[in-house]
Structure 1
Amino acid sequence: MVSGIRAATLLARGREEGLRLALLSMEGTARSFWAGAICLMPFLIIRAMGNDALLSAGLGVELIGYVLGWVAFPLVSLTLAEAWGRGPLWPLFIAAWNWANLATYTVLLGSTVLGSILPPGMGGMLTLMAFAYALWLEWFVAQRALRISGFRAGLFVLMDTAIGLLIASTVARIGG
């Protein structure tokens, strides 16, 4: 887990050497899903600050959506990675993607907390910047881990975003 956190720190700064720490063995990909457990508390705080879904009967639905978000994209991305002949690099990509999510959740939590005390316009701009950073980080990880073009890495980001939006809208419909 320490290697994964170090990998996240390097990747968050755009340093490709974080990939070497993300996957030290084939079990490294499976262990990288511990990042989801680490990110659960920031997720809950962000959700609680955003609406009252966690204060009502929606907590269970939110948690199911959270788990789906950590599982659906890796499963779907395997198909795309294999179609592009990058299947052997997929375990590295998923390990790096999982650990990079630590940086993403840290930035999103910071922007959410800071945005709550800033004037609305500044808070909104900070949130937008945090999301832009999250998209860039995923693009960077996909491009470097899978050794693909920036365009193809962008398609992975779009796919993950679409899956996330689908899960979020489903959670909102069921839990709302």
Structure 2
Amino acid sequence: MPGLSTPAVTLETQIAAGLRAAFLLAQGREEGLRFALLSMEGAARSFWAGAACLIPFLIIRGMGDDALLSGGLAVELIGYMLGWVVFPLASTALVDASGRGPLWPLFIAAWNWTNLAQYAALLAAALLGRLLPGGVGGLLTLLAFAYALWMEWFVAKSALRISGIRAGMFVLMDMAIGLTIASTVARLG
């Protein structure tokens, strides 16, 4: 599907392709990259995944504590938006250092779309965790988090054509950014 990233392709077609990419990549199927669109336009349009993930994010955050109910919604939303922007920007340096600069748009498009599957797994774990005993619910959350980390590692390794160790560096960088944003949101919220 290399023609999907041409200007003549509609946003709806690219969103449908991104959903297909997320579905396949979530199964560990590298062929999902064919739908992730290797172009700056494809990378830019993949940020629509952030809009789709907002509702699951708010549900998960609302279930976790009262931060969304105590006036911290604006801070939570700013943190959410930063999470979608800071990692892609920071990753450019690591992609360039890996000698994979031309693959950055594909990586970011795949990373963005795969977030849909990650949020689905985390939301399912959170919802099931409320119905099951504490230990089982905690285990489900841990497994969903591990799955999300694996998925990010798989996308970095596959999209950038790098070793597993290098892909792990992207996951660690994203985790560090996410933890920094989360701790700042917690202090401000």
**What's the TM-score bracket when you normalise by the shorter of the two chains?**
over 0.9
Distance in 2 (alpha carbons) for counterparts of 1:109 and 1:121: 17
Question: Which deviations, in whole Å up to 9, do the C-alpha atoms of 1:50-96 show, x marking residues without a partner?
Answer: 00011111000000000000000000001110111111101000000
Runs of 5+ unmatched residues, structure 2: 1-14
Deviation at 1:25, TM superposition (A): 4.0
TM alignment of 1:53-64, pairs within 5 A: 53-64=67-78
Aligned to 1:42: 56
Q: How does 1:21-100 map to 2 (within 5 A)?
A: 21-23=35-37, 25-100=39-114
Q: Which one has more relative contact order, counting CA pairs under 8 Å at least 6 apart?
A: 1
1:151 aligns with 2:144: no
Match of 1:111 among 125, 129, 134: 125
1:141 aligns with 2:155: yes
Q: Distance in 1 between matches of 2:64 and 2:40?
A: 37
Cα distance in 1 for partners of 2:139, 2:71 equals 31
Q: What is the TM-score of this pair, normalised by structure 1?
A: 0.98
**TM-score, normalization by structure 2:** 0.91
Provide the residue aligned with 1:102 in structure 2. Answer: 116
Residues 1-27 of structure 1, C-alpha deviations (whole Å, 9 max, x = no match): 111001100000000011010115431
Give the superposed CA RMSD: 0.7
Q: Distance in 2 between matches of 1:35 and 1:153?
A: 22
Look up the match of 1:121: 135
Structure 1: distance between partners of 2:106 and 2:38: 9
What is the distance in 1 between the residues matched to 2:114 and 2:164? Answer: 18
Q: Is the 8 A contact 2:38 2:105 kept in 1?
A: no
Identity across matched positions, percent: 75
Q: Using the alignment, how far apart are the partners of 2:130 and 2:23 within structure 1?
A: 25
Q: Which runs of 5+ in 1 are unaligned?
A: none
What CA distance in whole angstroms lies between the structure 2 residues aligned with 1:142 and 1:84? 11
